[in-house]
Amino acid sequence: ETILITGGAGFIGSHMVDRLVNEGFKVRVIDNLSSGRLENLKHLGTSIEAMIGDLKKPEDALKAVDGVDAVFHFAANPEVRVSTTNPETHFNENVVATFNLLEAMRRRGVKELVFASSSSVYGEPSEIPVGEDAPIRPVSVYGASKAACENLIHAYTRLYGIRAVVLRYANVVGPRLRHGVVWDFMNKLRTNPRELEVLGNGTQVRSYIYIDDAVEATILAWRKASDAFNVFNVASEDWITVDEVAKIVIETMGLKDVKIIHKPVAHGVGWLGDVKKIALKIERLKALGFKPKLNSAQAVKETVLGMM
């Protein structure tokens, strides 16, 4: 069986590649290397075929899906902050690319899709943790682009017999991460170990999940979900504030007396479209037998240790 992993040279995608190769699958990767890196692909040339290509081009999408049995779609621009200044980037990288991929799957008769969505589709839920049936009310163009992808996928499952598993990930962290708060804090502290600028007032709440747990959840959902269209939250069971993340990063890096400087925009958030509080209910995944090994604080700590 051959599986296509879009964005397979990126953070989550490359860990999915490792796992599927270990399970004996042949893997093809399509990546435009906008943020991904070929050195993330350990088994390149043996069990992995890599195609440098861009899903914004329909012809690249068609070439990529040719002859595969299933598609794991992880290519996207994952930077929520970019979407505030550059909404068009998110529309193109996420919605147009996903549409091209779905069209390619329809035309080539590929019937199975796993999609990396995001907790940002919920926007600012009225209470946390939020379950999969909560309303979809994104407050960033990134979140809106993921919601648009989910809806396109839903229609394709109804119209063209594609089976889809949609994963709404919380903040995924671990080795090879190159964006987001943990990466940002580590970089800033490497440049200046005496001071740390925190975007927002530091009280923003998030759930963090370690990459190994996220990969395990993804595989489990793919194997066990039985409907034509399936949605799962993927997160650990607790949540921590951005200030707590800062503290863990500082301590794990062995630093002391770091001055924290908060930079809030409106309502204490770090940028327009930043969400104040988000955490996810994971009962649906747990019903399939999932249990995260690390909680949010442990996931952040393990990530820092792995990147030092």
One character per residue 23-52, x = contact with ligand NAD (rule: CB under 6 A): -------xxxxxxx----------------
**Do 72 and 5 form a contact (C-beta atoms < 8 A)?**
yes
Assess whether 160 carries a catalytic annotation. no
Least Å distance, CB 119 to ligand NAD, is: 7
- For residues 174 and 11, what is the distance between their CA atoms, to the nearest angstrom? 8
129 scored as a contact of ligand NAD (CB under 6 A): no
Q: How many CA atoms lie within 13 A of 119 on its CB side?
A: 28
Of 98, 58, 166, 130, residue with least CA distance to 275: 130
Q: Are the C-beta atoms of residues 133 and 92 closer than 8 Å to each other?
A: no
Shortest distance in whole angstroms from residue 141 CB to ligand NAD: 12
Q: What is the DSSP string of 107-150?
A: HHT--EEEEEEEGGGG-S-SSSSB-TTS----SSHHHHHHHHHH
Distance of CA 182 to the CA centre of its chain: 14
If the CB atoms of residues 83 and 157 are measured against ligand NAD, the closer one turns out to be 83
Site mask for ligand NAD (CB under 6 A), range 136-175, x = bound = ---------------------------------x-xx---
Among 7, 125, 129, 200, binds ligand NAD (CB under 6 A): 7
Could you tell me the smallest distance in angstroms from the CB atom of residue 215 to ligand NAD? 11
- Binder to ligand NAD among 19, 56, 154, 281 (CB under 6 A)? 56
Half-sphere exposure (Cβ direction) of 251: Cα atoms closer than 13 Å = 11
Active-site residue among 142, 156, 208, 210?
142
Give catalytic residue positions: 142
Residues that bind ligand NAD (CB under 6 A): 6-7, 9-13, 30-36, 54-56, 74-78, 93, 97, 116, 118, 169, 171-172, 180
